[in-house]
Amino acid sequence: MPSLVDVVRVEPSIIHTNRNAPKMSPKMIDLTGKAALKGTARLPKTITSCIVLSSALAMTSVPAFAVEPWIMVEKTTFTGDAISSKQQGVTTDGTNWYFSGTNILERTDRNYNPSMHVSPAIPDALKLPSQYSDIGLNHIGDIDYADGLLYISLDSSQRDPVTGGKYENPVFAVYRASDLSFTGQAFSLNPPHGIHDIASWVAVDAKNGLGYGMAYENATEIAVYNLSDWSFKEYIPLTHTIDQAQGGKLLGGWMYFSTDNDDKIIYRANLKTGEVENLGNLKIDGEQEIEGLSFNQTKDGWSMYILNREALEGNPDEEAVGFYRYLRPYGNALSGEIHADINGALVEDSRFARDAANSRLQSAFDGVSAPVLTTASIDAGGMHAAPSTADGIVIWSEALAMTGDAKASGDAAAFGRNTAGFIGGADAPLGNWRLGVLGGYSHSSFDVTDRASSGSSDNYNLGVYAGTQLGQFGFRAGAIYGWHDIETRRSVVFPAFSEQLSADYNAATAQAFSEVSYRFDIGRNAFEPFANLAYVHLKADSFTETGGTTSALSAQGTSTEKTFSTFGVRASTQFDTGATKAAPARHAGLAARLWRRRSDLKSDLQHRSILHHFGRADRQGCAGARNRVRRSPVVQRHAGCVLFRPDRQGRAGTYLQDQFRSEAIAGHWHGRASRGCLKRQSLWVARPCAVVGRCEALAHAFCHGMDDGDGRCSARIHVAKRPLAEPRGTAFGRDHVLCRFRAALGGGKG
């Protein structure tokens, strides 16, 4: 197995491309401090070359993106046996790297440790004279990856005995990325403008079913092929000749080229207009040959990687392969992804209103493991405190406060949000039904620190709900409309450029939900399987950012539709506290969402782009879908005592009320309670337990400690068993469960 003999990482250093230019501000050091020119006094010895950016870092008045900036941030040097397998091409699937040698294919992990090596990689069907070549194929060029397949550029470096020419048998072959084996599919290229040396690299756009290639010498056009059979489709004329391109890859509507011409220039060409831009060069002292090129998405944005065959630094007689990593540091600053994040958060947080309505209907019919709400009743005697199950008109309210975050993932930065507000309503009986209206207000703040972006939204909700309990069968439903007034602010700052941008626009959510359940009792135990379906539609207005002329984004209105389906079971049991013989039986409850699914019916947010020359705001699906909420209490007031309980969504903490999710169990909420409450108040408590059976004992012990001797203390138990696969950041071991219970004093409803 070939070995990776030497890996060298470049550490950050403050180096400037122009010694006479003013020093960069400290806040920009992390972005530009790794750029370097060979020969600079403070350059680490491990750097052998760097890309020179035209007008990008010259500290002039020309905007840095006049020519797209790429700054070298890392170099890895391959020596020894690793050279032969990494001297032609490179591509990645985002997790593994794939390298090619002249007749070698190799797969490595992200740290370049080989996991599979195939040599020779060209099978006899291609190596021997065949329909593809009268003399056989013996040379692999640059490669590309798409949908589990590797696309390999092939040709023959031998002279044809008849024509005397080399590289006149262009073939693109298809391999399996899983085992680097030939699939049996290979295609001879036959574009109308000739076949001489047109397979030094291959690039694939699987989404659009297209493949690309180009002549090696003095190319004036890019050849476009149909990916299914590699039949010729069209040429894209170029505005500038590109000579000796050894690698080519697609990114954002541009084709990027690594060339081995005299100046070792890195180009990119627009696939719509054919416009060619010179991004800089990778020219070093001594012998070198630039090879393949690839891109990979990182938390810092897109990184570009280039292979370069060169002499080993410090030993010019020894060969090495340098693997250069370049970062486009300002692309993320221009992205405006906070707009997509806010859309996702509004869809996800629509649950607060519908959950409040559903909870009220559960408590109105004394449902299994029904939550306790603050309620009042209106009758002939006026308004007065009343239990949730009271007849007549009942008024209820709920306050909420939530903090959540979404971890950074690939192209998306970490996203945090806070929401606080209240929801309330009133309902009245109509036969066996209860019909009601609700309204609420909340304020949400959003923050994407890594993109210097923040925002806020004032949210207003108005809705109707209805429910009934017909014997064992329960039905609950509602419809809610929400208005959102959104404001965003973000800063776009890099050398010689700064803009402060803002936007103000509106959005609206319309949602409907329904839930069916069936209750059955076994002795002291009650069970209620349920199925819940919710539909959410978000429509956001178009907007144009103000405060800047260059980096401001404009976006058309967007529409996002989601469905959430949930299946689960609620359970409760009765037990006596044992304090007195007259003590009534109380309930311990368990509710778990066994399965929750979000279905993407239609979403302009999915793979959407903010409409701008260079701006993107992509977020896969709903930004809130990955949220791990750190704490999400719902505040209840009883006779002036503020009590905390977790949000009913299990994902909002470590609890199970209506939802069961493994990442919810891995939350960081260990328990929050207010002990200063008077009698007839409720406390929510959470404790880690070694085994499920300890929860009941723990509940009894806590309840006994609260009891003042009247024997009227009860506890509802909620048990959250840890999954076998332990999520990152969990506070508990694999054998632990999380026990949550509510203890109530003074004869209040249990």
In a domain, 149, yes or no: yes
In a domain, 294, yes or no: yes
Q: Helix, strand, coil proportions of the chain in percent (round to 5)? A: 10, 50, 40
Residues sharing a CB contact under 8 Å with residue 689, sequence separation 6 or more, in sequence order? 695, 698, 736, 737, 738, 739
Predicted local distance difference test score (pLDDT) of residue 684: 36
Amino acid type, 664: A
Predicted local distance difference test score (pLDDT) of residue 714: 45
Same domain, 345 and 488: yes
Residue 359's CATH number: 2.40.128.130
Count of CB atoms within 10 A of residue 649's CB? 24
| Overall number of domains in the chain | 2
In a domain, 660, yes or no: no
Residue appearing with tokens 């701006």: 615
> 464-488, pLDDT tens digit by residue?
999 999 999 999 999 999 999 999 9
Among 293, 327, 361, the domain-final residue is 327
Predicted local distance difference test score (pLDDT) of residue 693: 45
Mean pLDDT, residues 704-722 taken together: 41
Residues sharing a CB contact under 8 Å with residue 537, sequence separation 6 or more, in sequence order? 509, 510, 511, 559, 560, 561
Same domain, 286 and 384: no
340-344, 603-607, 672-676, range with greatest mean pLDDT = 340-344
Same domain, 283 and 229: yes
Same domain, 390 and 440: yes
In a domain, 572, yes or no: no
Predicted local distance difference test score (pLDDT) of residue 367: 82
In a domain, 589, yes or no: no
Same domain, 305 and 348: no
Give the pair of three-digit tokens for residue 125. 């069907």
Phi, psi (5° rounding) for residue 334?
-90, -5
- 3, pLDDT greater than 80: no
Same domain, 239 and 351: no
In a domain, 698, yes or no: no
Phi, psi (5° rounding) for residue 255?
-105, 125
**For residues 399 and 676, which has the higher predicted lDDT (pLDDT)?**
399
Same domain, 356 and 307: no
In a domain, 461, yes or no: yes
How does the average pLDDT of the chain come out, rounded? Answer: 72
Same domain, 228 and 291: yes
> 632-658, pLDDT tens digit by residue?
332 222 222 222 223 322 222 222 222
> 537-596, pLDDT tens digit by residue?
999 999 999 998 777 888 888 899 999 998 888 888 776 555 433 333 334 444 444 455
Same domain, 321 and 443: no
Same domain, 315 and 352: no
Predicted local distance difference test score (pLDDT) of residue 405: 85
The parent domain of residue 322 ranges over: 26-327
Mean pLDDT, residues 310-320 taken together: 89
Predicted local distance difference test score (pLDDT) of residue 490: 94
Same domain, 247 and 183: yes
Q: How many residues does the chain have?
A: 750
Distance CA(533)–CA(229), nearest Å, equals: 44
Predicted local distance difference test score (pLDDT) of residue 329: 65
> 238-278, pLDDT tens digit by residue?
999 999 999 999 998 999 999 999 999 999 999 999 999 99
> 134-180, pLDDT tens digit by residue?
889 999 999 999 999 999 999 999 888 777 888 988 999 999 999 99
- 335, pLDDT greater than 80: no
Residue appearing with tokens 């020596």: 79
Residue 98's CATH number: 2.115.10
At residue 532 the predicted structure's pLDDT band, cuts being 50, 70 and 90, is very high
Same domain, 387 and 306: no
Q: Looking at 550-610, which runs of residues are DSSP E strands?
A: 554-555, 558-575, 586-603
Q: What is the pTM of this model?
A: 0.51
Among 327, 349, 370, the domain-final residue is 327
- 743, pLDDT greater than 90: no
Among 327, 356, 378, the domain-final residue is 327
In a domain, 7, yes or no: no
Amino acid type, 630: R
Predicted local distance difference test score (pLDDT) of residue 432: 93
